[in-house]
Amino acid sequence: MHALVERLYPLCRSITGDGVRSTLDIVGESIPLEVTEVPTGTDVLDWTIPREWNIRDAYIKDATGRRVVDFAESNLHVVGYSVPVSATMSLAELRPHLHTLPDQPDLIPYRTSYYSETWGFCLAENTLKELPEGQYEVRIDSTLAPGHLTYGEHVIPGQVADEVLISCHVCHPSLANDNLAGIAVATALAQRIENPYYTYRFLIAPGTIGAITWLALNRERVDRVKHGIVLACAGDRGSLTYKRSRRGDAEIDRVFRHVLAGRDHTIVDFTPYGYDERQYCSPGFNLGVGSLTRTPYAGYPEYHTSADNPDFVSPEAMADTLETLWDAVGILERNRKYHNTSPYGEPQLGRRGLYGSLGGRSDTQQIQMAMLWVLNLSDGSHSLLDIAERSTLPFTVVADAAKALHGAGLVKE
């Protein structure tokens, strides 16, 4: 996962353009992707696909010809979607187009201007302070022209058409935690899933406009999405944070509450700000989609700065995020409702060999109690997750108990 972050890091991504395509090409080496290109001018819900932006080079040269700001050194140096510029101007004329972080004087900020035609450069405050008065050559070799918005999907067919959506944004340039770590973890998760019950859809799309575009193009079938997670900031060293769906009590919310119970974590309520959960949870769709991050957006000093580099991303943190998602998938895959086929009184478990068949487990006492809970609450209205929560037993123990009871004919789906 960390190697994938390092490989993707130098690419200049935006909400459109060749950087997105190159990123999807590289991810496609690990998991097959169906890539969709949506033309400029296409209406998508209340939005319109913008013109496509690409950039080849950009710099500010001083009077000696030295590049004091160089896009080749960091693609954060250029404000995203900057229009082409070729001019010579004084430092005073240039200053309104320069963006710094006075409180973090050694870092380059990340700035964009998607929907207004302007241009600018980002640089360290300390670099700006060292620039002498005089004339500067300013060059941004970019194009803003009719093209496409691009997104990629990886679908793992399941036994049913109902879907689990894993969504990542792909619109940021060289920011390792804020989009690349999420893409790397999602890719690793996709590689693990085999022969699932649900259909799993992994969506890698530009933030906001990409999710809106996908929703617009899939409006007739979006109700297949039964569970979903927006994955971002998946590699920093902070503890895990889960943001509930707009519903607040969707199955995915309860799954993560259960999974995170044994981990250092924070659970927060839904707000209509953040990543693309706000699109999936808009009132017209109101999907059961939550958000999983480590430290939330804007919650760490490196956020949207040049300090969000591959060294900031921890392989151990990404592994922890992946295992958390894997545990959640395990619950989604096994969470069922059952009917007790012998609901009058407690059936005799011993003569059916149920106790003996599960002997040798370190949690034998737990699983015996789990059988009693499953039998008692398998009335067709309680899921295994309901039973795990009410009994305060681990979901895996409850699911194993249900499997044993099902094998003995004492419960049926």
Dihedral of CA atoms 27, 28, 32, 38 in degrees, nearest 10, equals 100
Round to whole Å and give the CA distance between 12 and 19: 5
Across 91-126, b (16+ Cβ under 10 Å) vs e yields beebeebbbbbeebeebbbbbbeeeeeebbbbbbbe
154 is in an annotated binding site: no
Looking at the DSSP assignment, which residues form a beta bridge with residue 156? Answer: 200
**Are 321 and 185 spatial neighbours (Cβ–Cβ below 8 Å)?**
yes
Task: Looking at 137-294, list the stretches that DSSP marks H as alpha helix, in order from N- to C-terminal side.
Answer: 182-192, 209-217, 251-260, 277-280
Spacing of C-alpha 16 from chain mean position:
18
Sign of CA dihedral 120, 126, 129, 130: negative
Q: State how far the Cα of 272 lies from the Cα of 172, in Å rounded to an integer.
A: 21
- Please state, in angstroms and rounded to a whole number, the distance separating the CA atoms of residues 317 and 207: 23
Asked if residue 206 lies in contact with residue 49, where contact means CB atoms within 8 angstroms, the answer is no
Q: Which bin fits 390, alpha (ψ -120 to 50), beta or left (φ > 0)?
A: alpha
Residue 77 marked as a ligand binder: no
Q: With 0-12 CB in 10 A as exposed, 13-18 as middle and 19+ as buried, what is 248? A: exposed
Q: Please tell me whether 172 is known to bind a ligand.
A: yes
Which residues make up each annotated binding site? 172, 178, 304
Which residues make up each annotated binding site for Zn(2+)? 172, 178, 304
